[in-house]
């Protein structure tokens, strides 16, 4: 039984929830429109049922792998239990925590804080039949933190609808939590949690799903919402950091066109045994910078893929306009790079023009749109891979003229440029050239070889790889191509059509080859006792090969943005989930450490405050007491409400007041007076 729990936990780390079903409560329905980020695993329990559809999941049903997992479980479970004991958990409890939807949201940002996000996190989890486990866990964690911080305060707030919120405060940080409608809520932003629960009680939607940036991200990634889905309001986040970023950095962001990014959506799901991840960047106003280059990339029809041999372990192909890319690079370098760096770029291009008699742009302008790069081991065998680039030529005559002109100049050399040893070698119905770099007095690992065949330019790292590529072009597809690889076909078939570029790597072959190389050595030099399992139980490479497959990716220029899709055995989501869990335990650990309050030297800073309404005044008193400042109420305020701050850095106090004013319709900002005095002005 315990080994089954170990197996389930391992699978949970390798794959996040993979199926969704309607839940009684959808947290996103009640989040406010200005929520900055929201991530959801719609059904964290149903993924166990979907693992059978995953080739990775079926790997753990192999007898070889089950034996290894059982051995690992016996070796680490007791140690893990001791580690989890401080959090009131047992190893077997971890799997029980996955009962339904799990969400993580960012309700705001504390600009200028060491961790701008720490006090604005909202976490929810569907508790299902395990509410008692969640309650016990929450209470144990709170007691653990309380024991480590004798000055910690605890309390409870009850809303008018009956929902109760417990909280614990350590120094300036407050953690609040509640159980309501079968869901566990925890947040470091108490006002946001109270407002959320109030809306849920009243059945009042929060407005997030009316945020156009949220809607756009959801619409472009909705097909993948069965596992993990995420949204980031980039525009809102950047606007909050605009002042902190600084004018110069902001100008660089604008030059790149990144200031036009509105939001980002992410989705992950299981499809035909593989994980499909989709990242969508919403930028409807993106016209300049990188968007100009993306606009010039038409859809890729795959005409050059037959150039790639069936055994290639890496492929990147697509439509690329290199002349446009160079022009964009020069434009951005002039606006973004430091003057001395841009001068180096400009001088290098000028030297190229003087050396060859034409510009680099002239040469790139002769190339067509299709470019293919691949790496493969030689068909007849070998350990050194062929790395080959092939590009369509739109103007063959001009390209050959410019290339010949450049090679003649390179062979002649000059005062600052040593002559290159460029050799022409007859081969097949034509010839190829290569550069013998070793003649420069340095031993080089490459000897670039290149040729023009018809309207295709071939470039490889050495003569023989170039000859292999030329032979394939001469055979006109005889001997098969990358489409004959079942793994390539099946993996890329999961990508959405209409991409501008496509990539693939044979992960299974590479991983298994590396595994078979390392494992025998590992088993020989590491006897049992040095590792928490029996090395001889490691499965064979053949076992892994039956369940692993390649990784494919594609890029898409869409009407209002840009998207990337990745197909893989594992997906990105498990790593995000593992990072989130690690971050959670790290925050709990930090919260358990006593917080030292720095002493206040000299006169305590004063806070002037005037506001009609006792609750807010009382809240400010409490805030000031915890912040270590004195409060007095003047008869009148100069501009709305003025808080005078004699401390060197008034921002922490301003942020605290800003949070205090949440929901009042008021905001706070720091104002510099002519005499150097700083004031915090509260305004509507």
Based on the fold, state whether residues 572 and 633 are members of the same structural domain: no
Burial 490-507 (b: 16+ CB within 10 A, else e): bbbebbeeebbbbbbbbb
DSSP E strand stretches across 381-511? 386-393, 422-427, 430-435, 449-453, 456-460, 501-505
Between 202 and 605, the higher pLDDT residue = 202
The pLDDT score that the predictor gives to residue 87 is 61
Chain CA centroid to CA 161, Å:
39
- Return the H-helix or E-strand segment holding 632: strand 630-632
Asked if residue 156 has pLDDT above 60, the reply is yes
The pLDDT tens digits for 503-551 are: 999 988 888 888 898 899 888 877 655 666 788 889 998 888 888 888 9
Position 36 in a domain: yes
Position 421 in a domain: yes
Based on the fold, state whether residues 86 and 186 are members of the same structural domain: yes
SS3 state of residue 227: coil
CA distance 620 to 615: 9
* 67-71, 399-403, 619-623: the lowest-pLDDT one: 619-623
The pLDDT score that the predictor gives to residue 78 is 66
Query: Confidence class of residue 223 from pLDDT cuts 50, 70 and 90?
Result: low
CB atoms within 10 A of CB 389: 16
Domain end, chosen from 533, 568, 592, is at 592
Average pLDDT over residues 481-487: 92
Based on the fold, state whether residues 581 and 632 are members of the same structural domain: no
Based on the fold, state whether residues 377 and 345 are members of the same structural domain: yes
Considering the entire predicted model, what is its pTM? 0.75
Average pLDDT over residues 93-103: 80
Average pLDDT over residues 258-263: 92
Contacts 24+ apart (CB under 8 A), 328-333: 328/289, 328/290, 328/292, 328/293, 332/255, 332/256, 332/289
Rounded percentage of the chain residues whose pLDDT exceeds 90 = 26
Asked if residue 640 has pLDDT above 80, the reply is no
Based on the fold, state whether residues 172 and 24 are members of the same structural domain: yes
Based on the fold, state whether residues 109 and 227 are members of the same structural domain: yes
Crossing angle between the packed helical segments 63-85 and 2-14, to the nearest 10 degrees: 90
Query: Confidence class of residue 68 from pLDDT cuts 50, 70 and 90?
Result: confident
Q: Which among 339-353, 571-585, 589-603 has the top mean pLDDT?
A: 339-353
Based on the fold, state whether residues 333 and 452 are members of the same structural domain: yes
Domain end, chosen from 472, 492, 512, is at 492
The pLDDT score that the predictor gives to residue 185 is 96
Average pLDDT over residues 576-605: 47
Position 396 in a domain: yes
Based on the fold, state whether residues 323 and 243 are members of the same structural domain: no
What is the chain's Cα-based Rg?
Answer: 31
The pLDDT tens digits for 382-392 are: 778 999 999 99
Average pLDDT over residues 590-612: 39
Average pLDDT over residues 126-143: 87
Give CA angle at 578 (572, 584), nearest 5°.
Answer: 135
Asked if residue 641 has pLDDT above 70, the reply is no
Between 642 and 333, the higher pLDDT residue = 333
Position 509 in a domain: no
The pLDDT tens digits for 661-677 are: 665 656 666 665 555 55
Average pLDDT over residues 600-605: 36
Query: Confidence class of residue 399 from pLDDT cuts 50, 70 and 90?
Result: very high
Average pLDDT over residues 619-642: 52
CA distance 195 to 206: 9
CA distance 71 to 87: 25
Based on the fold, state whether residues 573 and 667 are members of the same structural domain: no
Position 525 in a domain: no
Based on the fold, state whether residues 52 and 190 are members of the same structural domain: yes
Domain end, chosen from 492, 520, 549, is at 492
Based on the fold, state whether residues 360 and 238 are members of the same structural domain: no
Position 267 in a domain: no
The pLDDT tens digits for 400-415 are: 999 888 888 877 776 6
Alpha helices (H) in 149-246, listed in sequence order: 190-202, 212-221, 234-245
Average pLDDT over residues 18-33: 70
Position 349 in a domain: yes
Residue 241 forms beta bridges with which residues? none
Position 532 in a domain: no
Based on the fold, state whether residues 102 and 161 are members of the same structural domain: yes
- Return the H-helix or E-strand segment holding 682: strand 678-683
Query: Confidence class of residue 644 from pLDDT cuts 50, 70 and 90?
Result: low
Average pLDDT over residues 600-629: 49
The pLDDT score that the predictor gives to residue 219 is 85
The pLDDT score that the predictor gives to residue 224 is 53
Give the total number of structural domains in the chain.
3
> Considering only CA atoms, which of 428, 448, 427, 430 is closest in space to residue 438?
448
Query: Looking up tokens 């590529």, which residue turns up?
Result: 469
Asked if residue 101 has pLDDT above 70, the reply is yes
Domain residue limits at 610? 606-683
Both tokens assigned to 599: 């002493």
* Mean pLDDT taken over the chain: 78
């Amino acid at each position: 039984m315990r080994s089954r729990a170990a197996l389930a936990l391992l699978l949970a780390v390798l794959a996040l929830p993979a199926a969704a079903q309607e839940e009684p409560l959808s947290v996103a329905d009640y989040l406010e429109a200005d929520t900055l980020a929201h991530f959801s695993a719609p059904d964290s329990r149903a993924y166990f049922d979907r693992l059978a559809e995953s080739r990775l999941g079926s790997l753990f049903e192999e007898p070889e792998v089950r034996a290894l997992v059982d051995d690992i479980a016996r070796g680490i479970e007791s140690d893990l239990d001791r580690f989890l004991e401080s959090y009131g958990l047992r190893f077997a409890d971890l799997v029980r925590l996955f009962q339904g939807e799990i969400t993580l949201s960012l309700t705001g940002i504390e600009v200028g804080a060491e961790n701008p996000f720490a006090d604005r996190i909202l976490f929810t989890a569907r508790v299902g039949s395990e509410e008692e486990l969640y309650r016990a866990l929450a209470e144990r964690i709170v007691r653990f933190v309380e024991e480590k911080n004798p000055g910690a305060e605890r309390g409870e707030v009850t809303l008018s609808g009956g929902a109760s919120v417990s909280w614990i405060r350590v120094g300036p940080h407050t953690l609040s939590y509640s159980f309501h409608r079968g869901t566990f809520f925890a947040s470091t932003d108490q006002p946001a949690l109270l407002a959320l629960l109030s809306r849920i009680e009243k059945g009042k939607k929060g407005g997030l799903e009316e945020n156009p940036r949220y809607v756009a991200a959801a619409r472009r990634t909705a097909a993948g919402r069965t596992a993990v889905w995420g949204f980031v309001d980039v525009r809102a986040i950047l606007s909050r950091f605009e002042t902190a970023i600084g004018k110069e950095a902001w100008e660089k962001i604008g030059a790149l066109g990144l200031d036009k990014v509105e939001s980002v959506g992410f989705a992950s799901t299981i499809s035909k045994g593989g994980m499909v991840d989709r990242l969508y960047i919403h930028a409807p106003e993106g016209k300049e910078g990188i968007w100009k280059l993306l606009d010039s990339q038409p859809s890729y029809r795959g005409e050059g893929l037959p150039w790639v041999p069936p055994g290639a372990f890496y492929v990147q192909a697509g439509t690329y306009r290199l002349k446009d890319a160079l022009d964009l690079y020069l434009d951005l370098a002039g606006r973004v790079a430091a003057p001395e760096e841009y001068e180096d770029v400009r001088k290098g291009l000028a030297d190229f023009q003087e050396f060859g008699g034409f510009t680099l742009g002239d040469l790139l302008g002769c190339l067509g749109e299709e470019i293919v790069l691949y790496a493969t081991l030689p068909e007849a065998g070998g350990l050194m891979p062929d790395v080959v680039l092939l590009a369509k030529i739109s103007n063959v005559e001009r390209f050959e003229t410019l290339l010949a002109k450049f090679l003649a100049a390179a062979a002649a050399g000059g005062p600052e440029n040593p002559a290159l040893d460029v050799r022409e070698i007859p081969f097949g119905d034509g010839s190829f050239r290569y550069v013998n770099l070793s003649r420069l007095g340095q031993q080089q690992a490459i000897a670039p070889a290149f040729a023009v065949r018809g309207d295709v330019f071939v470039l490889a790292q050495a003569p023989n790889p170039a000859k292999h590529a030329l032979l394939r072009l001469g055979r006109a597809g005889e001997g098969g191509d990358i489409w004959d690889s079942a793994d390539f076909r099946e993996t890329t078939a999961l990508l959405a059509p209409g991409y501008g570029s496509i990539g693939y790597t044979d992960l299974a072959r590479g991983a298994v080859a590396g595994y078979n190389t390392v494992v025998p050595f590992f088993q020989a030099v590491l006897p049992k006792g040095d590792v928490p399992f029996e090395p001889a139980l490691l499965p064979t490479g053949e076992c892994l090969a039956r369940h692993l497959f390649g990784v494919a990716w594609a890029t898409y220029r869409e009407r209002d943005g840009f998207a990337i899709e990745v197909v893989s055995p594992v997906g990105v989501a498990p790593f995000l989930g593992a990072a989130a869990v690690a971050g959670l335990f790290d925050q709990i650990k930090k919260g358990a450490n006593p917080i030292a309050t720095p002493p206040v030297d000299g006169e305590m800073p004063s806070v002037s405050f005037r506001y009609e309404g006792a609750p807010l005044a009382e809240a400010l008193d409490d805030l000031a007491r915890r912040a270590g400042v004195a409060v007095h109420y003047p008869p009148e305020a100069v501009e709305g409400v003025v808080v005078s701050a004699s401390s060197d850095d008034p921002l922490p106090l301003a942020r605290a007041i800003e949070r205090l004013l949440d929901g009042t319709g008021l905001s706070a900002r720091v104002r510099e007076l002519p005499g150097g005095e700083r004031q915090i002005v509260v305004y509507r």
